[in-house]
Amino acid sequence: MTGPTGVPAAVPVPVPVPVPAPALEPWLREILRCPVTGATLVDGVGPDGSPELVSTDPDDPLAYPVRDGIPVLLADDARPVGRTAGGA
């Protein structure tokens, strides 16, 4: 395909658009607990903008990734939140 000047016309290239993960059903979020502390979990957003479930434990808050709408409640995948270096 060429444009009016005889130069090949640019073909639009589809750009992938990130699709937000579907929100968890309220009944499911209500029964899920942090596997490390047993605290309830609330919706959060990770440093990279991805969805997370964050424990409400005041002493040891952890964030768990939500991948493709599925919470990954594995202690090895948890990320500490709300703490600075030195535990302050």
Write the pLDDT tens digit of every residue in 4-40.
666 666 666 565 555 555 567 888 888 999 999 999 9
Residue 6 lies in a domain: no
Q: What is the pLDDT of residues 65-76, one digit of tens each?
A: 999 889 999 999
The tally of domains found in the chain comes to 1
Tokens for 32, please give them. Answer: 């899920």
Residue 43 lies in a domain: yes
Residue 17 lies in a domain: no
Instruction: Note the pTM of the prediction, 2 decimals.
Output: 0.67
Parent domain of 62: 26-80
Q: Is the pLDDT of residue 79 over 80?
A: yes
Which residues of the chain form beta strands (DSSP E)? 41-45, 51-55, 62-67, 70-71, 79-80
Residue 15 lies in a domain: no
pLDDT range class, residue 3, cuts 50, 70, 90: low
Residue 12 lies in a domain: no
| Burial group, residue 55, by CB count within 10 angstroms (0-12, 13-18, 19+) | buried
